[in-house]
Amino acid sequence: MRFTKMQGLGNDYIYINCLNYEINDIPKAARFLSDRHFGIGSDGIVLILPSDKADFRMRMFNSDGSEAEMCGNAIRCVGKYVYDNGLTDKSRINIETLAGIKELDMVVSGSKVEMVRVDMGEPVLEPAKIPVNSAKDRFISEPVTVGDRVFDVTSVSMGNPHAVSYVSDVDEFDLHFYGPKMETHSLFPRKVNAEFVQVIDRNTLKMRVWERGAGETLACGTGACAVLVASVLNGISERKATIKLLGGDLLIEWKQEDNHVYMTGPAVKVFDGEIDL
């Protein structure tokens, strides 16, 4: 099987062209391929497929084999993959995902895509749709006990569920203790991506993320979008801000005109290879 390893801010996935190719037992393949000792090593795998609704369709599976609805870093790399490999000659394309169809605008330099701006759509704030086990109209700055601490949690869906909390020093925060406990908290029936955020100023936020099915990753695009939305709702930031992640920076904007969230960031090819499945 041919594959391409790509990363967006260090959030690395294995990309497989499935336009004319099928994989049997995708969850098992994802677990094997993602293993950093016995496989290729990644946060998961991404399948690029034909679509009858958009230019292409994307499916993504975490390193534990579970399928996720969306990944902002991964979808930027899908755009780069299809353009750089001549599967499209358009710099603006639509990608079908389990979280809906997303529009990508690609910045091309020397025939290669360097940056991608993604229309991530409207944030979902109704608890039942996120989902969160709450009867409230919105889940904003609600106290949630996790281990020995109480966090004020704001929950947002960007096609997948997020729980955003604020801490004084994200570098010193014990993410590996609190992250998995937040991920599997009884409030979240489908688990949750947990973001912990330090406010630098109204235009700069610093975050770490514990992702469903993957643990701590260097970056999470949907998480960065959820962090901006949560910060606007809590009066902490402007509607456009730089989100600083372990792997680098993303520019996120929540536009008032259409209520859509826009994410701009890099997409990088690491290497091509082949492996026996």
Query: Sign (positive/negative) of CA torsion 236, 240, 244, 247?
Result: positive
36 annotated as a binding-site residue: no
72 annotated as a binding-site residue: yes
193 annotated as a binding-site residue: yes
110 annotated as a binding-site residue: no
211 annotated as a binding-site residue: yes
Q: Which of 18, 77, 220, 225 is catalytic?
A: 220
17 annotated as a binding-site residue: no
CB atoms within 10 A of CB 140: 16
Q: Which of 18, 71, 77, 225 is catalytic?
A: 71
73 annotated as a binding-site residue: yes
Query: Is 71 noted as a catalytic residue in this protein?
Result: yes
37: amino acid identity, one letter:
H
222 annotated as a binding-site residue: yes
Distances (CA, A) of 115 to 108, 130, 205, 270: 7, 29, 21, 15
127: amino acid identity, one letter:
P
Distances (CA, A) of 61 to 247, 265, 277: 20, 21, 16
**Binding-site residue ranges:** 11, 62, 72-73, 160, 193, 211-212, 221-222
Residues forming the active site = 71, 220
**Binding-site residue ranges for substrate:** 11, 62, 72-73, 160, 193, 211-212, 221-222
